[in-house]
Copies of this chain bind each other. A is one copy, B any other.
Amino acid sequence: MNTGEPGSFGQLLRDMIASGQISDPASPKGRLLAAAAKLFREKGYSGTTVRDLAADVGILSGSIFHHFKNKDEILFGVMKEVVSAMNASLVARLALESESRGRVKALIEHELTFIHGGPGNAMSVLVYEWRALSEARQEQILEQREAYERLWQGTLEEAHTAGLIRIEPDVLRQLLHGAIAWSANWYKPGGDLSMDDLVERTLTLAVQE
């Protein structure tokens, strides 16, 4: 991913770090969140202990609570940042596409790239550990998550109107979401199937030729 030119994903991240929306991955808090995303994904939220987390980052368990009030807040942090980033990044990505098929492809490519890229752990956590988050905090995430879903919804509706897709946008979104999220559990980059291939195959499901 190009990190040099303005408007790129790398630049976008830097802007978000600068504005405090997501934490600097070099800071203690950022390293903690990255480790949490990795561990929560591998072993689940309940299955990961605060000590596992501390050990992974190289600090002692007591020190974690200088950065987060409790374990739930760590999960919240992981989810909040990935939702923000996904949102911002999809907005930026869609801005580059005007034509319907390209926009649908952008949705799919964007979500797959996210899952198999740096924020992949966090996104898996967002999807598969949702029930572990306290309800109070679920609501806070939901707002941003819905903004992201509206981007999908709007784009798919255009495509539906254009006759590009055959099934109801909301149903299609869910089917694609499941298919894409699950790819975290089987797709290995670097094998026979390139990421572009995977995007293409997934797009094939969605649209008529």
Q: Which residues of A contact B (CB under 8 A)?
A: 42-47, 128, 131-132, 166-168, 171-172, 174-183, 186-187, 193, 198, 201-202, 204-206
What would be 11 A-B contacts, judged by CB atoms less than 8 Å apart? A44-B44, A44-B45, A44-B46, A45-B46, A45-B47, A167-B204, A175-B182, A175-B183, A178-B180, A178-B183, A182-B182
Tell which of B132, B182, B206 touches A181, judged by Cβ atoms closer than 8 Å. B182
With a cutoff of 8 Å between Cβ atoms, the chain B residues found around residue A181 in the complex are 178, 182
How far apart are the CA atoms of A202 and B166 in the complex, in Å? 11
Main secondary structure of the interface of A (DSSP, over half): helix
The copy count of this chain in the complex is 4
Q: Are B131 and A43 closer than 8 Å at their CB atoms? A: yes
B42 close to A131 (CB less than 8 A) = yes
- Decide if B171 touches A201 in the complex (CB within 8 Å): yes
Q: Which residues of B contact A201 (CB under 8 A)?
A: 167-168, 171-172, 175
Instruction: Point out the residues of chain B lying under 8 angstroms from A183, CB to CB.
Output: 174-175, 178
By a CB distance below 8 angstroms, the chain B residues around A182 are 174-175, 177-179, 181-182
Q: Chain B contacts of A132 at CB under 8 A? A: 44, 47
- Alpha-carbon distance A205/B207, docked complex (angstroms): 8
Q: Give the CA-CA distance A44 to B46 in the complex, in Å.
A: 8
Residue ID in chain B nearest A166 by CB atoms: B204
Q: How far is the CA of A124 from the CA of B20 in the complex (A)?
A: 38
B166–A175 CB distance below 8 A: no
Interface centre among A47, A128, A132 (most CB of B within 10 A): A47
Residue from A43, A168, A180, A182 with most neighbouring chain B CB atoms (10 Å):
A182
For A131, what are the chain B residues with a Cβ–Cβ distance below 8 Å? 42-44, 47
